[in-house]
Structure 1
Amino acid sequence: MNPDTRTHAPADLVVDVGPVAHGGHCVARHEGRVVFVRHGIPGEKVRVRLTEDGPAAKFWRADVVEVLEPSPDRVDHFWDLADSGRSWSHRHPPVGGAELGHISLERQRSLKAEVLAEQLRRLAGVELPASLENTVEAVGEPAPSGARAGLGWRTRAAFAVTPAGKLGMHAHRSDTVLPVRGMPLAAAGINGLALWEIDLQGIERVEVAAPANGSRPLVLLVPAPGTRAKRLSAILAQLPEDVSVASFDPAKGEALQLRGRTWVQESAAGHDYRVTGDGFWQIHRDGPDTLVGAVTGYLHDGGFLTPGAAVADLYAGAGLFTAPLADAVGVTGSVLSVEGSPGTSRDARKNLHGAAQVEIVQGRVERVLRQKPRSLDAVILDPPRAGAGKDVINQLIAAGPRAVAYVSCDPASFARDLGYFRQGGWGLAGLRAFDLYPHTHHMETVALLTPRR
């Protein structure tokens, strides 16, 4: 955090909360200056605490500490540590990761739809048709009777560790680590480990994966420099025997086996997938099947995914989309699967070892496209949060596929990339948005893009 934009003593203001903006906050103004407010709802009058300000700052940031005129969409937050008013009343900021928990789920989805529409309008020059406006689809089964909706969906979670060795989470945009006893958004397989009961001294970070199919969970321990094997053994002894445990080196991206496996087995669309260490996998328990269904539905319905077709899966990860693509094109077709991470690409080779029609290439997408030009019928583009970028998109357009299914977890980078497609003569032929991250500002979109000719 820039010290020039941080208040030395907390300052409170009263503001009217304006429209929602990308990033989990709303826009307010104070004496002409923009204030990005978290934990409010458009239309509310609130008292906020400035968390970043200063005369040289282009804008300020603030958290709601008191609601003076509430929205009818405001609900009691399900998690005290993420509730802004409660947290600041105890003299600390709220933890991140549940910044919309004070809003009804229906209103959360309408706000996400507003953000998506605004980003597409501003960055891509696209006006959504009325049939797509205000539509972000709920995902998964309804909550059990009496349970709070939108909880227990995360099959992966990352935690910090307090100086005292307790499981913790960071406050938003802060180095402050607050101890936690449970994570309401996490699946039972994660909370059931009761990691908050364990002495984690010598560990900087803990990552947990508990597959939705019930297979063996994995706990990744990221040791602090100088942590000895004896300390790791002491932590290992506190964890359940049926849990795999590994020590993870972020610099090398390597997981060292301590007990069990260094990977988890995930399932989706009728396939099993090995995912090693911190390799990417959709964190919502129903996310993989939802996205595979949306992508293959677009390509099948458009006649782009047929036996014998040549397709590519770019930023392919462990092969979530590659496997169903291989099923669809059959042995007479071909699938090019490209992934940048060496470890994840190795997983893809293991997961697709029986599919002779699949060629798996490890490397940067733009380099592989340049070195392996080919004619393609369809492409799945599932880039990281930063998006694919102009170079990749121009190479794709030059390759001349009949369709691209674009999967995005960030509406801003998606809108920017859509703008590049439109500059190249392509258009938006279909769009679906999914609420794969309830109680957060994140969403997932699947778009069908085709040449305008």
Structure 2
Amino acid sequence: MTARTSTTQAPGAAGHAGEEAVLDVGPVAHGGHCVARHEGRVVFVRHAIPGEKVRVRLTDAGDDAKFWRADVIEVLEASPDRVEHFWRPADSLRAWSHGHPPVGGAEFGHMTLTRQRSLKSDVLTEQLTRLAGFEQAPPAWTGSVEAVGETYDGGSGLGWRTRASFSVTPGGRLGMHAHRSNHIVPVREMPLASDAINALRLWDLDLQGIDRVEVAAPANGSRPLVLLAPAPNTKEKRLRAIAAELPGDASVAAFDPLTGNVTQLRGRTWVQESAVGHDYRVTGDGFWQIHRDAPGTLVGAVTKFLQQGDFLRPGAVVADLYAGAGLFTAVLADAVGETGSVLSVEGAPGTSRDARKNLHAAAQVEVVQGRVERILRQKPRDFDALVLDPPRAGAGKAVVGQLVASTPRAIAYVSCDPASFARDLGYFRRSGWDLAGLRAFDLYPHTHHLETVALLVPGP
């Protein structure tokens, strides 16, 4: 039974936002929160652990809302898996004691890594049963979320991000947004980021005139890139003054988040990434896996699935869909050799240009820019295998239908979102396809995110 312990409304807050309540915390749910109930209404609680009793502050609690949201401000009965948060700005208890919400991006940092992975496994199982139609965790999956990078981080789950995104406070200091909020919290470190990103000391800069900062620091130690998104009417002279304050080994460029256009200020407008024996040019804020060990981990899982089923071999015909700068394409080209062929499809024009540069020496690769479903219609082939690595929203029903219609022998599906993956897997299963293999990886420690790699094959 839950009870409200305070009915004091925060000045100007809508509905019940700002009120406090004591809640018994229920199971984890997709999205980085746990489920509780308050006076018959579902409340999604962040910074809790199932089984705890906590005091929360309601953050989104309209009278007509189907559910409310809340942050933990005090732990009354703690889980044995609760630990002190490693990063003060992301610690809900500390942040709210100072009158403001915590930053997002480290919402699982208050619990052990073992419990984090257990909860991620619970979320994936729940999505597979609810959206993909399984009665329980499928036999193709061991049920575990695998740790990645422990040799490098010593089991701490820190220092893995090779890319980071920051906001800027009204006073021009480096900051990060609170979850689902316009509030920006100043930061003076980023423990999840690599040493190379923290070494830039962006928090020491006066960033007035800048709306957003993106940083890429490749794990191979090559030159980092700092991207500055200027506020309206900010002059180039101001941008160059900020660039001059950054360490000399960093490239600096201005960029437009809406168009992706990048303007050189100093050094290069791209970074050189390395993975599985290949180098990749990635321009501006083009996509690249952010965990230092993610490229090798995901490529290894994909190629192992496809090679075990004899879907990837010399002479095979394969495609890399949502190919980005060509991470999977280059390895597929190695595997099929000169007698095979690889169709590499990417929708973003700038990223597709990078793929052309990265793969120009591989004659067996055809790089095409455009929508996946359109390109598959235009270039029908008898595919041995497809590699599918869509954005967080997943492929969707129309694309899945097109993939099934192309009749490949197998599909390796890489996903960063268990809900969209499970939904798409449900589409495949209803089209007669089977889940032949599934692995889950903890490529985002101290957050609720995880990555999956699945092998899908036509049913008998």
1:40–1:338 distance in 2 versus 1, CA, 3 Å = same
Q: Report the count of equivalent residues.
A: 449
Q: Counterpart of 2:147 in structure 1: which amino acid?
A: A
Match of 1:128 in 2: 137
- Could you report, residue by residue, the CA deviation over 1:109-149 in whole angstroms, capped at 9, with x for unpaired residues? 0000000000000001123246735400000133666xx70
Q: Pick from 216, 233, 256 the counterpart of residue 226 of structure 1.
A: 233
Matches of 2:157 and 2:143 in 1, distance apart?
19
Q: Does 1:60 align with 2:106?
A: no
Q: Counterpart of 2:370 in structure 1: which amino acid?
A: G
Match of 1:346 in 2: 353
Query: Which structure 2 residues correspond to residues 21-420 of structure 1 after superposition, within 5 A?
Result: 21-126=29-134, 127-129=136-138, 132-142=141-151, 149-420=156-427
Consecutive unaligned residues of structure 2, counting only runs of 5 or more, are 1-11
- The answer on whether the counterparts of 1:318 and 1:351 sit within 8 Å (CA) in structure 2 is yes
Q: Counterpart of 2:329 in structure 1: which amino acid?
A: T
1:150–1:258 distance in 2 versus 1, CA, 3 Å = same
Q: Tell me, what secondary structure is at the counterpart of 2:146?
A: coil
- The answer on whether the counterparts of 1:5 and 1:56 sit within 8 Å (CA) in structure 2 is no
- The answer on whether the counterparts of 1:431 and 1:446 sit within 8 Å (CA) in structure 2 is yes
Identity %: 75
Matches of 1:94 and 1:447 in 2, distance apart?
35
- The answer on whether the counterparts of 2:218 and 2:273 sit within 8 Å (CA) in structure 1 is yes
Matches of 1:389 and 1:369 in 2, distance apart?
15
Matches of 2:24 and 2:142 in 1, distance apart?
25
Matches of 1:46 and 1:198 in 2, distance apart?
38
Matches of 1:151 and 1:35 in 2, distance apart?
30
Q: Counterpart of 2:215 in structure 1: which amino acid?
A: V
Q: How many angstroms does 1:8 deviate by?
A: 6.6
* TM-score between the two structures when normalised by the length of structure 2: 0.96
- The answer on whether the counterparts of 1:7 and 1:50 sit within 8 Å (CA) in structure 2 is no
Matches of 1:16 and 1:377 in 2, distance apart?
51
- The answer on whether the counterparts of 2:140 and 2:438 sit within 8 Å (CA) in structure 1 is no
Matches of 1:320 and 1:236 in 2, distance apart?
30
- Could you report, residue by residue, the CA deviation over 1:18-53 in whole angstroms, capped at 9, with x for unpaired residues? 000000000000111000000000000000000000
Q: Counterpart of 2:122 in structure 1: which amino acid?
A: E
1:155–1:101 distance in 2 versus 1, CA, 3 Å = same
Q: How many angstroms does 1:423 deviate by?
A: 0.9
Q: Counterpart of 2:217 in structure 1: which amino acid?
A: A
Q: Counterpart of 1:298 in structure 2: which amino acid?
A: F
- The answer on whether the counterparts of 2:175 and 2:184 sit within 8 Å (CA) in structure 1 is yes
Q: Tell me, what secondary structure is at the counterpart of 2:401?
A: helix
Match of 2:7 in 1: none
Q: How many angstroms does 1:391 deviate by?
A: 1.0
- Could you report, residue by residue, the CA deviation over 1:328-349 in whole angstroms, capped at 9, with x for unpaired residues? 0000000000000000000000
- Could you report, residue by residue, the CA deviation over 1:237-291 in whole angstroms, capped at 9, with x for unpaired residues? 1011110000001222111011110000000110000000000000000000000
Matches of 1:174 and 1:9 in 2, distance apart?
13
Q: Counterpart of 1:140 in structure 2: which amino acid?
A: G
Per mean C-alpha deviation after superposition, the further-off stretch among 131-140 and 419-428 is 131-140
Matches of 1:421 and 1:306 in 2, distance apart?
24
Matches of 2:432 and 2:440 in 1, distance apart?
23
Per mean C-alpha deviation after superposition, the further-off stretch among 388-397 and 286-295 is 388-397
Matches of 1:71 and 1:185 in 2, distance apart?
24
- The answer on whether the counterparts of 2:397 and 2:424 sit within 8 Å (CA) in structure 1 is yes
* TM-score between the two structures when normalised by the length of structure 1: 0.97
Q: Pick from 15, 21, 33 the counterpart of residue 13 of structure 1.
A: 21
Q: Does 1:437 align with 2:444?
A: yes
Q: How many angstroms does 1:366 deviate by?
A: 1.2
Matches of 1:44 and 1:8 in 2, distance apart?
23
Q: How many angstroms does 1:5 deviate by?
A: 8.8
Matches of 1:28 and 1:171 in 2, distance apart?
21
Matches of 1:142 and 1:362 in 2, distance apart?
38
Q: How many angstroms does 1:406 deviate by?
A: 0.1
Q: Please, what is the CA RMSD of the aligned residues?
A: 1.4
Matches of 1:142 and 1:324 in 2, distance apart?
24
- The answer on whether the counterparts of 1:20 and 1:115 sit within 8 Å (CA) in structure 2 is yes
